[in-house]
Chain A
């Protein structure tokens, strides 16, 4: 091939798609294909989910049924109580942590600079990555609930009303925490180190959210109790338990109040997250450190 012809080919204007939807789809599909190539990871994570639910079901054999009645949940089984907590906390951790985790990989592998030099807008990249995280997490969350209810016989109340209410609550759970995930991504852009926000989430939500024990037990410790009720996750989990353990719906006053509180958290966290991310993004571009690790 002649050199001039080659230069001509490179110079040729390509009709570029400016559609955000196509960009989001492209980012999502590219990353989803990568996810499917990690077969060992998918298999071991699936087995881990099954194993952890089985483990909690054996643990539940040690809990006398009257212990949760004292905590105000009625005569419910501890496995059902814990299952809602485990499924939601894992779901939240995977959804929120996925964006920062993927970004860390891109930076570490040296592909982040290529991504941001491409015509893909950063917002499309962030949304596409988040959708992938959302779908992958949903697979594990639904799997955990299915294993818990069908195999381990955890008595959850599932009908059309509670199913729709749960879907809405899971969405609110993610939206209200999305700002925190975006902050984590911004921190990783600048400091390139670890994923402290996601780590803190898994440890703090499990304790302060009352994943394995009723929060009534924290009432003896006023400071811890105040911290627990300052976290949006606590409200989401409380509402989810009301729906799946006692049959309440989104129109029940106690669930509806919690949804309003989650909307409030979304209005605070989302702009803060976007601001932090913009700060991190502009800083690494100005410093020229998008490719350094």
Chain B
């Protein structure tokens, strides 16, 4: 082939229209889904593991007294319902938020992150697409966990107003943890490690956010530590609705909503700023694809 012809073809201007963001996000979700679907064995194991975990707490609930749960204002369903809500929503935020971090680490590990960032897709769009995908997966698991709980005898107060309140609270839960996910991504960009953050959110929330027991059982200092984590307010408000029949109009739920909004207002801009620092620093150093 004529060399001049190749040069001409390569230097030809392609009349390209900018792709809308929604199409880029949709393509990314489809891509992630295809990759995720190839790991069918892991998917089966994940589902089995979640069902076994909930079944374990179904049996544990037979030896646990429901008195502390009722005293905390969660009057419907007893300990099993309390544990199902805790497990389902804790795993929901954990898999969603940490999924984004794991995804960035995997792209770094495989050496593909530089390719993605050199394409027409901006990093903001990439991060948004990843978040949406992991929240879709997380939401499916949340629905599956709650359905398993219902099948085993969990009881929820599902009146129309309660349902609307749960939807709003879930959105606040996602928004507050999105800040944590972005913060983690910023740290990974710079340090190539995100484990301490993963650790804090998996273990500390289990200890102090009331996943498996009401907060009243904690000593005062751990109860105060629990107030740092948005999951504490989210779980309390969701349980007050699902197990106490309250709605967004109830003062106790409103109090939790206000705390979540304050957390989002403070943490989201801060995490975006830290993410920008990490991202710009990695770009300056040319270490985006290093692991």
Query: Cβ of A196 and Cβ of B41 under 8 Å apart?
Result: yes
Interface residues of B in 38-70 (CB under 8 A from A): 39, 41-42, 45, 48-49, 52-53, 55-56, 59-60, 62-65, 67-69
Query: Cβ of A62 and Cβ of B207 under 8 Å apart?
Result: no
What residues of chain B lie closer than 8 Å to A48, measured between beta carbons? 199, 203
Query: Cβ of A203 and Cβ of B52 under 8 Å apart?
Result: yes
A139 contacts partner chain B, Cβ-Cβ < 8 Å: no
What residues of chain B lie closer than 8 Å to A44, measured between beta carbons? 195-196, 199
- Describe B's contact surface by its main secondary structure: helix
Query: Cβ of B65 and Cβ of A62 under 8 Å apart?
Result: yes
Which stretch of B23-31, B117-125, B210-218, B253-261 is in the interface?
B210-218
| With known contacts A47-B203, A58-B213, A64-B65, A207–B56 Cβ distance under 8 A | yes
What residues of chain A lie closer than 8 Å to B68, measured between beta carbons? 61-62
Interface residue total, chain B, C-beta cutoff 8 A: 32
Chain A-chain B contacts (Cβ-Cβ < 8 Å), number? 88
| With known contacts A44-B195, A47-B203, A212-B56, A62–B45 Cβ distance under 8 A | no
Interface residues of A in 7-65 (CB under 8 A from B): 40-41, 44, 47-48, 51-52, 54-55, 58-59, 61-64
A200 contacts partner chain B, Cβ-Cβ < 8 Å: yes
Q: How far is the CA of A41 from the CA of B45 in the complex (A)?
A: 25
Contact of B45 among A55, A63, A200, A212 (CB under 8 A): A200
What residues of chain B lie closer than 8 Å to A202, measured between beta carbons? 49
Q: How far is the CA of A213 from the CA of B60 in the complex (A)?
A: 5
Q: Mark A180-197, 1 if CB is under 8 A from B, else 0.
A: 000000000000011010
- Describe A's contact surface by its main secondary structure: helix
Distance in Å from the Cβ of A70 to the closest Cβ of chain B? 9
| With known contacts A47-B203, A59-B213, A63-B63, A207–B195 Cβ distance under 8 A | no
Determine the residue in chain A with the shortest Cβ distance to B63. Answer: A67
Q: How far is the CA of A40 from the CA of B62 in the complex (A)?
A: 39
Q: How far is the CA of A193 from the CA of B45 in the complex (A)?
A: 13
Query: Cβ of A62 and Cβ of B217 under 8 Å apart?
Result: yes
Q: How far is the CA of A59 from the CA of B206 in the complex (A)?
A: 11
| With known contacts A40-B196, A62-B68, A52–B59 Cβ distance under 8 A | no
B79 contacts partner chain A, Cβ-Cβ < 8 Å: yes
| With known contacts A68-B63, A203-B48, A212-B60, A51–B41 Cβ distance under 8 A | no
What residues of chain B lie closer than 8 Å to A206, measured between beta carbons? 52-53, 56
Distance in Å from the Cβ of A201 to the closest Cβ of chain B? 11
A218 contacts partner chain B, Cβ-Cβ < 8 Å: yes
What residues of chain A lie closer than 8 Å to B103, measured between beta carbons? none
B265 contacts partner chain A, Cβ-Cβ < 8 Å: no
Query: Cβ of A55 and Cβ of B63 under 8 Å apart?
Result: no
Query: Cβ of A78 and Cβ of B63 under 8 Å apart?
Result: yes
Distance in Å from the Cβ of B57 to the closest Cβ of chain A? 8
What residues of chain B lie closer than 8 Å to A52, measured between beta carbons? 203, 206
| With known contacts A48-B199, A59-B213, A62-B64, A40–B59 Cβ distance under 8 A | no
Q: How far is the CA of A217 from the CA of B64 in the complex (A)?
A: 13
Determine the residue in chain A with the shortest Cβ distance to B69. Answer: A62
Determine the residue in chain B with the shortest Cβ distance to A202. Answer: B49
A143 contacts partner chain B, Cβ-Cβ < 8 Å: no
Query: Cβ of A51 and Cβ of B203 under 8 Å apart?
Result: yes
Instruction: Find the residue from A41, A193, A207, A214 having the highest chain B CB count within 10 A.
Output: A207
Determine the residue in chain A with the shortest Cβ distance to B193. Answer: A40
What residues of chain A lie closer than 8 Å to B56, measured between beta carbons? 206-207, 211-213
Could you list some 26 contacts between A and B, CB below 8 A? A41-B195, A44-B196, A48-B199, A51-B204, A51-B207, A55-B207, A55-B212, A58-B218, A59-B64, A59-B212, A62-B68, A62-B213, A63-B63, A68-B63, A71-B63, A193-B39, A199-B45, A203-B48, A203-B49, A206-B52, A207-B52, A207-B55, A213-B59, A213-B62, A214-B63, A217-B62
List of 4 A-B pairs having minimum Cβ-Cβ separation, nearest first? A67-B63, A203-B49, A44-B199, A213-B59
**Which residues of chain A have a CB within 8 Å of any CB of chain B?**
40-41, 44, 47-48, 51-52, 54-55, 58-59, 61-64, 67-68, 71, 78, 193-194, 196, 199-200, 202-204, 206-207, 211-214, 217-218
**Which residues of chain B have a CB within 8 Å of any CB of chain A?**
39, 41-42, 45, 48-49, 52-53, 55-56, 59-60, 62-65, 67-69, 79, 193, 195-196, 199, 203-204, 206-207, 212-213, 217-218
